Amino acid sequence: MAVIVITSEDRAKIKQMMADAKRDYIPWEKIKDVGVLSNKPVLKLEDRKPGTRPAVDQQIILGNCRVAFSYEEQPAGMCKHLSISIGDARRLPHPVAVEMVATEFGYPTDYLQTCMVWVEEFEPKRYAINVVEVEHG
């Protein structure tokens, strides 16, 4: 497992990334045809409607993790959407890395119980852990 060190510079970039994403949130109209409800353990590309792709997110590299983040307008309200992947297409990020990154983006420590979490294929044979939280207040 690679070590992730999140520096003060990284934290400043994350803060700016979150502010930019909130200002430029993805409206429901843009993503309503992309979303897929599935009870499968992994959301695969073929599970999506033909011709649809995930919305473009802001991205940052933290250690060996590629982190994409967006605010999205959803039927449940405004949501924070975090997607974490690593360069090695055969693996997913370590759970400790996911928890570290989620914490930096303001997700609760009990995110596995309070947020939607799933594995998604975002490019052929490339997978990410996704964490979505409905903002309250």
User: What is the per-residue pLDDT for 98?
Assistant: 94
Q: How confident is the model at residue 122 (pLDDT cuts 50, 70, 90)?
A: confident
Residues 33-42: tens digit of each pLDDT: 776 666 777 8
For 95: left if phi > 0, alpha if psi spans -120 to 50, otherwise beta; the answer is alpha
Token couple for 121? 């294929």
Phi, then psi, of 85 in degrees rounded to 5: -135, 170
Give the domain ranges of the chain.
8-134
User: What is the per-residue pLDDT for 55?
Assistant: 63
Q: Is the pLDDT of residue 12 over 80?
A: yes
Render the burial of 10-49: b for 16+ CB within 10 Å, e for the rest: beebbeebbeebeeebbeeeebeeebeeeeeeebeeeebe
Q: pLDDT > 70: what percent of the chain?
A: 88
Residues 52-104: tens digit of each pLDDT: 666 666 899 998 899 999 999 999 999 999 999 998 767 899 999 999 999 99
Cβ contact 98:66 at 8 Å: no
Q: Is the pLDDT of residue 9 over 70?
A: yes
Q: What is the C-alpha to C-alpha distance for residues 127 and 7, in angstroms, rounded to an integer?
A: 26
Work out the average pLDDT over 15-21: 96
The gap from C-alpha 28 to its chain's centroid, in whole angstroms, comes to 17
Task: Tell which wins on pLDDT, 1 or 134.
Answer: 134
Cβ contact 69:21 at 8 Å: yes
- Point out which residues pair with 65 in neighbouring strands: 62, 86
3-state secondary structure of 48: coil
Q: Which residues lie below 8 Å from residue 39, measured CB to CB, with a gap of 6+?
A: none
